[in-house]
Amino acid sequence: MACMLLLASPCMAEMLDLSALGDIEEAQTFEEEAPQREWTYPISYELLTTSDYIVLANRESLLDESFVPDDLVKDLSCRKISSTPIQMRQTAADALCALFDAAQADGIYLYAHSGYRSYRTQKTMYYNRLEKNNSKDDGVVAYPGSSDHQTGLGIDVINKDGIGKKFTTAFGQTKHGKWLAEHCWDYGFIIRYQQDKKDITGITYEPWHLRYVGVQVAQYMRDNHLCLEEFTQEWKEAVAEYEAAER
């Protein structure tokens, strides 16, 4: 009888092992069949998490003092207010040239006024503005590190009549300003500081200030009437929710 029990033991052990293995396989099958969370945001996850054209620069998201884009062109090849070099990042510069060509085809002649500005230049402009405005920040000049111009993706665009004159919101009512507001999105640009978004951007309405974000993003922002702050919050929340569900 003892011998028979001894002989039976390996069989029982084997049965236990097979049972445990079955549990493991069942768990693995469940994991494999578990549906993956679907990405539903209208812009791809890959674009949002890898593009550096959608970087946000404002008072809550300051660029470092040492930040300088590494793909700045030496000078724009499109129409400018003077022979003084204007820099932008390469892709944005190419898109601006395409935008100007399209405008010219419609009888609209645009001029590039101011592109990339260093942190140091922006700092000088900001404190000069404070001196002229009794130390009050009125949102006309961006705080150092918060300027689109430092990204190399921002550009001020005006018409011939505006050369040498102070920028005013009246530009938005000119045929040039209206053309920009209607067509800039199709070339990857947004009106960075919109008239009804001042409370969000902290900057007064600037119909002349374009910002390159890429065509898909620009058109999405136009269709949903978003400023860059709103878009950034929206897509980051979508990414965070998606990544949390994947863990």
Catalytic residues, by residue number, are 206
Of 91, 35, 122, 37, nearest to 215 by C-alpha is 91
Cα dihedral 65, 70, 74, 80, rounded to 10, equals: -70
3-state DSSP of 201-214: HCCCCEEEEEEECC
Q: Which amino acid appears at position 27 of this protein? A: A
Q: Give exposure, 82-107, as e/b (b: 16+ Cβ within 10 Å).
A: eeeebbbbebbbbbbbebbebbeeee
Residue recorded with tokens 């820099």: 87
Can you name the residues that pair with 206 across neighbouring β-strands? 193
Of 212, 222, 242, 226, nearest to 99 by C-alpha is 212
Q: How far apart are CA 159 and CA 178, in angstroms?
A: 12
Instruction: Concatenate the DSSP letters of all residues of 218-233 into one string.
Output: HHHHHHTT--HHHHHH
